[in-house]
Amino acid sequence: MGGIQAWQATLISGGLMILFLFVGEDLLHVLGLNVQSFAVGGSIVIFLLGLEMVLGHEIFKADADAKSGTFVPIAFPIIAGSGTLTTIMSLKANYGEWYILGGIVINLVVVYIVLRMLNLIERALGKNGLTAVRKFFGVILLAIAVKIFSANLAMFGK
């Protein structure tokens, strides 16, 4: 799996999501931030990750310690990034915490299964297939980053 510890990445991501579900807004306020600032900052990181995938140039340097790669950039910001954490906090306005927690658990089961199957996916797609998928999802990440950035930047004027 290229140094990605599926169970560890899933647990760290889940912990971040659950933490933000219950104390996210308070944590941001302690830091003097609002949800929009967090989302804009996170969108820049997502944009850089998307550029890295599309251009094939390493922006986030790999650490010699493979376990640190499980946390950054896998668990945060890819799995539990600003978009995910902002969405979790936004969902609280319309849904109960237990429903959101159930959604987080279902999401984490899917994430774990995909992370565990990375070797199988890699073999099935081959080198050229992986390159195509990486570039495609890099463009998707770029589009998501631009959407998050523009939507939250517009909120600063309000």
pLDDT tens, residue by residue, 109-140: 999 999 999 899 999 999 999 999 999 999 99
Question: Alpha carbon 6 to chain centroid distance?
Answer: 15
Peptide bond into 73 cis (omega under 30): yes
Mean pLDDT across the stretch 97-106?
Answer: 95
28 vs 32, 33, 38, 86, CA distance in Å? 6, 5, 8, 11
* Cβ–Cβ < 8 Å for 80, 16: yes
Q: Which one-letter DSSP state was computed for residue 61?
A: P
Helix and strand totals (H; E) in the chain = 6, 0
Q: Domain residues of the chain, as ranges? A: 6-156
Structure tokens at 104: 């987080």
pLDDT tens, residue by residue, 28-41: 899 998 888 888 88
Residue 69, pLDDT > 60, answer no
Looking at every residue in the chain, the average pLDDT score rounds to 85
pLDDT tens, residue by residue, 10-59: 999 999 999 999 998 898 899 998 888 888 888 888 898 899 999 988 87
Task: Judge if pTM exceeds 0.85.
Answer: no
